[in-house]
């Protein structure tokens, strides 16, 4: 996600979550639920004042951040809605992903969003790997 602050563009990696991938190629649909995830994120943050809780930078110099709008944790909302899963890599230093695991368990149990795919669900990490092959 890109944000602009005082004339500077900042690229933010939503820490703790991994959302379905949109296609990087023209005329390809991307991963199921990727457009719904993108739309929800836009609805939550576009043209709004966003607070960023930073957990440093990733290897691509993106800010690892939790976004808040009106005190609401946007990253966590994405997981609760079944439009992102908990990031399976090494967590950012100081980041507590326990609330995210609980939100994912609830979303899976209630078959929200991408979890409605059941056995056909493919994690974003696995999907990215398949696209490279």
Cα–Cα distance for residue pair 55/129, rounded to 1 Å: 26
| Residues with catalytic function | 13, 21, 62
DSSP state of 32: T
| Beta carbons of 31 and 131 less than 8 angstroms apart | no
Helix (H) or strand (E) holding 39: helix 34-45
Q: Is 118 left (phi over 0), alpha (psi -120 to 50) or beta?
A: left
Token pair belonging to 61: 């110099």
For 128, the 3-state DSSP assignment is helix
Helix (H) or strand (E) holding 120: none
């Amino acid at each position: 996600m890109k944000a602009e602050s005082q004339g500077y563009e900042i690229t933010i990696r939503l820490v703790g979550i991994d959302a379905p991938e949109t296609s990087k190629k023209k005329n390809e649909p991307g991963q199921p639920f990727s457009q719904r995830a993108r739309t929800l994120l836009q609805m939550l943050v576009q043209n709004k004042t966003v607070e960023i809780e930073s957990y440093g930078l990733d290897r691509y110099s993106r800010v690892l951040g939790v976004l808040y709008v009106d005190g609401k944790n946007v990253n966590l909302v994405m997981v609760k809605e079944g439009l992102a899963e908990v990031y399976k890599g090494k967590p950012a230093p100081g980041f507590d992903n326990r609330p995210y695991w609980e939100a994912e368990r609830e979303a899976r149990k209630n078959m929200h969003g991408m979890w409605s795919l059941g056995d056909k669900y493919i994690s974003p990490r696995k999907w990215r790997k398949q696209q490279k092959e």
